[in-house]
Structure 1
Amino acid sequence: MSDTDPLEPGLWDFPVPVCPRIGSRGFRRPGMRGRIRECFGMGEFPVLEGLEQHLSRSQYFRFLWFPRSDNVRIVYQDPTQQISQYSQYSRFVLPDFPVFQISQYSQYSQQFIFPDFPGFIPGFHSRCLFPVFIPSRQVLEGLEQHLSRSQYFRFLWFPHSDNVRIVYQDPTQQAPRSSSSWFWDYAVGFYLLEFLLWISSFFPGLVVWINRVFFRLLFNSRVENVDRSHRILTYECRFRQHVQDWAIPIGRTKEALLELRAALEGNPGIAAHFPVEIRFSRRDEILLSPCFRRDSCFINVILYRPYGKDIPRFRYWELYEGIMRKHGGRPHWAKAHSCTRKELELMYPEFPKFCAIREKLDPHGIFLNAYLEKVFC
């Protein structure tokens, strides 16, 4: 190693994303974003004698001491304009394109999680517009118009009613502003709602009233928020919950939702909590993506667990899954579903290819658990 730079760039010298919550010496630096150059080097415990020199040499300096030895690992992390060397990094983690293909999840993930891959959208202010109440049938009739009006369009349906909340989310240059209120968002939208949902676990018929009243209280007025994209495009899940989420071909959206509504009306004993979230995603080429080679609509149903109490859900799940299967649905991998391997092979055309690559990379099943064994073995 040279005297001027104790850290020789090596295989691990590549830019990595800046964590937005970490700044110089542990403090947040809001203006910091982009890439950082991360270098590692070996040292000895006398690094303490030159501590000030190390602190002045790097914006993000730390070292790791190995107890009962003089061994120290030195880490410098600094902003850089270098281009990410993923081709070099991929020799260790992503050996070839098929492996990279199975390691992705969806186009949505590519856009918002992996910062140096094609399709990534860097930090920007997003405008989140919630128009006023529109009847669900009117939304379904004008679905193409809504999809063309906003880059990220979704809507929330309140079961046991015709109420729908429209959400448009788009990039903007406007200054940040928020309509949030602790009283409405938490006092009413969380604490009061959780108590009423707990009461409804004894009297399920109250869910119809809860869905309609809380739509009027919290979702029946026009609201507009502007903030960083990672705040606009995410949602705070305040409740413990059970969730199912399937993707169907986008052309089957109207038919599937009308069937789900009719099925709930025909089974008054099933209490469906609000909201049913409907969102959309373009097709991709990711082997086990629910959007594999087709533009898709995700229909997400939910049952909350007020104060940790389980609400009977299996009749609702069975009814919902039946409709999703009928319309060519594919389950969200991070949500509950009852699909077997044989069913998944029919849903995903490249399922055997994925399994072959997985077995090649993990021949001894080190990364399998009981659930994955049922799905992939």
Structure 2
Amino acid sequence: MTVSRASVDGTCTAAFDPVRDLFAAKLEAGDEAGASLCVMSGGEVVVDLWGGVADVESGRSWERDTLANTYSLTKTMTALAVLVLIDRGLVDPDAPVGRYWPEFAAGGKGGVLVRHLLGHTSGLSGWDEKVSIDDVYDQEAAAALLAAQEPWWTPGDGSGYHAITFGTLLGELVRRVTGTTLGEFFAAEIARPLGADYRIGVVDEDPVRFASMIAPTSTFDYASLPADSLLLRTLLNPAFPPSITTDAGFLAAELGAANGQGNARSVALVQSIVSGGGVAGARRFLSAETVDRIFEVQSDGVDRVLGVPVRFGLGWGLPGPAMPGVPEGRVCWWTGFGGSVVVSDVDRDLTVAYVMNKMSAKLVGAPNPNEYLAAVYNCLS
């Protein structure tokens, strides 16, 4: 049925009316500024909603094709690109990274494996050197700095969230193996074949398409942390203020950890590859065996950076207390700073995606996405 309730547009099948009602209520209450929500079941779109404003200052509406920065949700796209290479036999997750990127073996990292990068266990959650945003925009130079340094902890011994370095490290792996950048590879091999409006690196695009992010209010005092804090060294070197996410330089960079641009529909379409056991849009992107590898636990415990228990599989988070809306089973997920989320449920062939511009201060486990996930799964029971 077509939705024309409150400030919500889109479509929703009757079985998911409670999801639509929750979305509309949050927009009306001001819990959302602008947002999109999509659910795919069995490869079919059963919920495709959007509403609110893409830019609070101008009052510009959030439209069907509005795109927003998805922050760390981008990591699921980068992980998917690497899985394509694994599926093709071009990358072995159990091989040393140095096999594909010889310079990486410096600094005692000869034993760091590809799966350590995908599972946030490599010991490279940040840069030793002080780096600027512009430094990180330079993919090859930023990767070279990481290749030269020593790990911050024993690789494979638990996780330390690779907030930005996840994209730099795996982006360089993709470039070394394919000869093309991560953004180019993702577009050519995944997004364009699916017709998914999701990009890692944006140029020559109308600025009106992009939502302005609304920074959260946080009471956390980073200044109270010791200078050697992993959280400080990882998250604030460099800091990425939400105000830059519509700048041309930020959009054009290919930050495989933090600047993918999309909406709930495009996120769900891409990640339905996982939910569908490797198949989406009548095309096989991955074998079922490669999808199964996602669920190989890489670490399970309190993350050194995030400070909360996280179970990491091969590139995605797995069910656990950090995200209570994600059910147990062959289900993988990840979230972006502010609250964007995608869940790929292989057991049910279900994909849920949420992208917004009003940000929560919580790095993991924001309330809105968990409430939407609970509503979706309640509709299945």
Task: Give the TM-score taking structure 1 as reference length.
Answer: 0.24
In the superposition, the TM-score normalised over structure 2's length comes to 0.24
Question: Larger Rg: 1 or 2?
Answer: 1
